[in-house]
Amino acid sequence: MTTTTAADRAQTREELSRTAYDLLVIGGGILGTSVTWMAAQAGLRVAMVDAGDFAGATSSASSKLVHGGLRYLQTGNVRLVAENHRERRALAADIAPHLVKPLTFLVPIYKGGPHGAAKLGAGVFLYSALSVFGDGMGKVITPHQALAKVPALRTEGLRAAAVYGDHQMNDSRVAVMTVRAAVDAGAVVLNHAEVVGLRKTGGTVTGADLRDRLDGAEFGVSARLVLNATGPWVDHLRRMEAPDAAPSIRLSKGAHLVLRRHEPWKAALTTPIDKYRVSFAIPWEDHLLLGTTDEAYEGDPGGVRATEADISQILDEAGHAVRDTQLRREDITYAFAGLRVLPGGPGQVTAAKRETVVTRGAGGMLSVAGGKWTTYRHIGRHVLDTLAHLPGRPLGDDLADILPAVPLPGLASPDAVALRLWTDRDPGARMDPLVARHLATHYGSIAFDLARLIRDNPALGERIHPDGPDIWAQAVYARDREWAATVDDVVRRRTTLTVRGLDTPDVRDRIAALLT
């Protein structure tokens, strides 16, 4: 069941209430969706709920990269980089080539910068070697060659640029497709459903009581095992299990900016700021994505946002390598921030290990924190393996083996999909090539479902805003097939309207009318 009208939500709540689940996953971010997908593939009865939208918080506030992590080489973590590369190549080749695309990166080397050409050249060569040269060989190019790829590159003091290959994606779309894959494998999911209490049987956590945030309906879910995958809220839920639970994590805020781009970029920039930190400038959704920051965050996770100080810092750091003309404040279309969940402990957040933390509480609830898009399938399998071998075997002994490379829905060559969308209609009624390309790279072969909607109702082929490629068929599809229940679900995560700065009051009103 993938529709999301009020009646469908009521039906899903009814199903959640009456079924005894093997696993209840609380939290629909990177970790929750991945574990739910893996558990369903292993034959478990699994349910997943989220208080907001799927990937509604930090999981859709990433740098939009599927990357090996060049900067991890700096800390000597070669094994992690090799593992990241393996997953990155699997996502790009077998799991989601319709959503994950290759991108060339330049590391500009300036006179007096923190790293020299020889060191960076050796670094990108090693990085390429760890990916088995799947993206070509890391190399060093001249300032003139670098400028041809990035026209807004600052050339004063530029000595050379190191080149390497990585991948990028739209994190919200990957999240929605992963939820869909989990449902296709048998999972039952509901967003905008908040946990108001944990159910206990003899001191053991055996489910949760929930409230539907859209209509206030209350219901409960029973499960043999509960997994707390609530990201920045992980300790909040642990205190529901045991009021005296000590903090297990700390938070680091990462902010990003999206700006209008004045000319096409053929590559992204990774600019060293100091010995450990880098600034990214990435062509993304016809715009420029800049980031990120890394600072300790103590406030309410729900209130995280990009502040004036964040915006100034990001523009200032981008200015090390990007010309001022491309960094004008009036070109900012969107600013956003997310929270990295790091292991608890002393020291600076910038030096904290980026790893997944798994803890088990007094009531038997398992809490897991610290997801990452590049290795999200790997982390999901690792957590499922941990669940399978818990003392007392709450999930039983009969988990099926997971196939090594189950693709996300819509698997197809985006080029082939775009070509067919464009040529499938009469020459006079052809889809705009930019719209065809947009649908192909955000839905893969599922774009043909949208094309059918347009065939039945040509008005759905119209753009939601004249300055962007998103069309009304996407909003209808988001409502009927992708669990979009609020205006933000549609404009921020099922389309690119918000990122492009096109979610005007008029657009929001019209989408609200569509949802009701």
pLDDT tens digit sequence for 478-515: 999 999 999 999 999 999 999 999 999 999 999 999 99
59 residue type, one letter: S
Paired strand residues for 367: 228, 359
Angle CA 407–409–410, to nearest 5: 105
Q: Is the pLDDT of residue 129 over 90?
A: no
pLDDT tens digit sequence for 187-241: 999 999 999 999 999 999 999 999 999 999 999 999 999 999 999 999 999 999 9
Q: What is the pLDDT of residue 213?
A: 97
Report yes or no: 2 and 22 within 8 Å, Cβ to Cβ: no
pLDDT tens digit sequence for 381-436: 999 999 998 888 888 777 899 998 899 999 999 999 999 999 987 776 789 999 99
Q: What is the distance between the alpha carbons of residues 229 and 181, in angstroms, rounded to a whole number?
A: 18
Burial class (CB in 10 A: 0-12, 13-18, 19+), 201: exposed
Considering only CA atoms, give the Rg of the chain: 23
Q: What is the pLDDT of residue 352?
A: 55
pLDDT tens digit sequence for 306-346: 999 999 999 999 999 999 999 999 999 999 999 999 887 65
Paired strand residues for 102: 167
Q: What is the pLDDT of residue 133?
A: 59
Per cent of the chain over pLDDT 70 is 94
User: CA-CA distances (angstroms) from residue 476 to 101, 439, 469, 484, 494?
Assistant: 26, 14, 15, 9, 10
Smallest CA-to-CA distance from 66 within 16, 111, 102 is with 102
Q: What is the pLDDT of residue 394?
A: 85
Q: Say whether the peptide bond before residue 307 is cis (omega within 30 degrees of 0).
A: no
Query: What confidence category does residue 1 fall into, taking pLDDT thresholds of 50, 70 and 90?
Result: very low
Q: What is the pLDDT of residue 397?
A: 78
Q: What is the distance between the alpha carbons of residues 344 and 456, in angstroms, rounded to a whole number?
A: 54
User: CA-CA distances (angstroms) from residue 491 to 169, 311, 405, 444?
Assistant: 17, 22, 31, 20
Smallest CA-to-CA distance from 207 within 435, 447, 45 is with 45
Angle CA 305–306–311, to nearest 5: 175
DSSP track, 195-254 = EEEEEEETTEEEEEEEEETTT--EEEEEEEEEEE--GGGHHHHHHHH-TTPPP-EEEEEE
pLDDT tens digit sequence for 42-63: 999 999 999 999 999 999 999 9
Query: What confidence category does residue 256 fall into, taking pLDDT thresholds of 50, 70 and 90?
Result: very high
Per cent of the chain over pLDDT 90 is 74
> Where does 347-461 show beta strands of DSSP type E?
357-360, 366-369
Smallest CA-to-CA distance from 66 within 83, 89, 50, 37 is with 89
Query: What confidence category does residue 348 fall into, taking pLDDT thresholds of 50, 70 and 90?
Result: low
Smallest CA-to-CA distance from 289 within 281, 279, 301, 298 is with 281
Q: What is the rounded average pLDDT of the residues 167-189? A: 97
Q: Is the backbone of residue 133 left (phi > 0), alpha (psi -120 to 50) or beta?
A: left
* Least confidently predicted of 94-108, 140-154, 268-282: 268-282
> What does the mean pLDDT of the chain come to?
91
Whether the predicted model's global pTM rises above the 0.85 cut: yes
Q: What is the distance between the alpha carbons of residues 99 and 259, in angstroms, rounded to a whole number?
A: 22
Q: Is the pLDDT of residue 349 over 70?
A: no
Q: What is the pLDDT of residue 17?
A: 98
For residue 264, count other CB atoms closer than 10 A to its CB.
Answer: 9
Residues contacting residue 365 through CB under 8 Å, at least 6 positions apart: 198, 205, 226, 227, 228, 237, 238, 241
Residue 373 or 120, more confident: 373
Instruction: Supply φ then ψ for residue 274, to 5 degrees.
Output: -145, -160
Q: What is the pLDDT of residue 136?
A: 65
Q: What is the pLDDT of residue 2?
A: 47
Report yes or no: 39 and 62 within 8 Å, Cβ to Cβ: no
Task: Return contacts of 236-241, CB within 8 angstroms, 24+ apart.
Answer: 237/26, 237/195, 237/198, 237/365, 237/367, 238/359, 238/361, 238/365, 238/367, 240/195, 240/197, 240/198, 241/198, 241/205, 241/361, 241/362, 241/363, 241/365
Query: What confidence category does residue 276 fall into, taking pLDDT thresholds of 50, 70 and 90?
Result: confident
Paired strand residues for 82: none
Q: What is the rounded average pLDDT of the residues 158-179? A: 93
